[in-house]
Amino acid sequence: MLMTTKPMFDLAYAGSFGVGAFNVNNMEITQGIIEACAAEKSPCILQISKGARKYANIRFLRKIIEACVEEYPGVPIAIHCDHGDTLDLIQNCIDDGYTSVMIDGSHHPYEENVKLSKQAVDLAHAAGVVVEAELGMLGGIEEDVVGLNAEEYAKNIEKFLTDPVQAQDFAHRTGIDSLAVAIGTSHGAYKFKHEAVLAFDRIEKIMKTCPGLPLVMHGSSSVPKEFIDLVNKYGGNMPNAMGVPEAQIAKAVREYGVCKVNIDTDLRLALTAKIREVFATKPAEFDPRNYLGPARTAIVEMVKRKLHMLNSAGKADAVIAEWKRQGEPMPGYYKTAAAV
């Protein structure tokens, strides 16, 4: 069932769970995510980045997601724009049927970020689409998102974390529906040189200045060691890759107001590790089904584990009931499409 993130986040904030926001780039990744969510009866957010739009063509991705909605009507699904950086892109995403968008002005000066985010909210809310914005800065690199140098970030992390008082002003002036916060996470597979420690004290302060505002964690892949080991075993070169410990992510969603957790790198690792394994152990294999199939299965199992970490397994029916209770209308694109 397609919806915005509002019913999901309303329940998540009060119910001590988080919704996994998984980046999709092709059919196998999308199928793996939705199969896991259906099996575990979990809501999910399918994220499409600017890079994914360019790689796969949004028309193809949208139809794949529409197939997911038809095949698994009991799974609450939101289609989300990950790291939208311009109003033109936000408008394109709204026109393409997204139910949620992120405007990322975190690299701009504060007042410019406020202005851009407010303009995105005005555009999206008019179409029944919800908006996430970002305040503070993360480290690392992922696609078009270039964060701070890892060493610089580690040395000056307090300087780049989301300011709780500024967050209150930002939320009030922009009217956003959720806020991506910088609390010590980082983009990519090489997030840290040592085990990460999230700034839970900072989350507590933001929750006090912004009561009820759903918080979002970017850069939250845990970079599972079993996938790194497989990549390296079969010809890869990924030394010292390290992510956010799953125990800390679980704490953020179960004890704090984190309602959305972004996961992209772990999907790429699962896919790549299994493909490498097939190529190395079966060098005569040339049927894509015989290497993409195991890769898709690896994604299913990895996502299932994430859903239990997020405590969202078993929450699908409650989210659908909340969606019906709120009487949330279908986003504009789908109302129009249904009428044709």
* Annotation marks residue 82 as catalytic: yes
| Residue of 123, 203, 135 whose CA lies nearest to 169 | 135
- Bridge partner residues of 78 (DSSP): 45
Which member of 82, 104, 177, 266 is catalytic? 82
Pairing of strands 145-146, 258-263: unpaired
Element (H, E) at 270: helix 265-281
DSSP H helices, 16-86, are 27-40, 50-56, 58-71
CB 143 within 8 A of CB 51: yes
Strand-pair partners of 135: 181
E strand or H helix at 170: helix 164-174
Residue closest to 333 by CA, chosen among 62, 106, 151: 62
How many Å apart are CA 310 and CA 258, to the nearest integer? Answer: 10
Q: Which long-range contacts (CB under 8 A, 24 or more apart) does 280-286 make?
A: 280/233, 280/234, 280/235, 281/234
Catalytic sites, residue numbers: 82
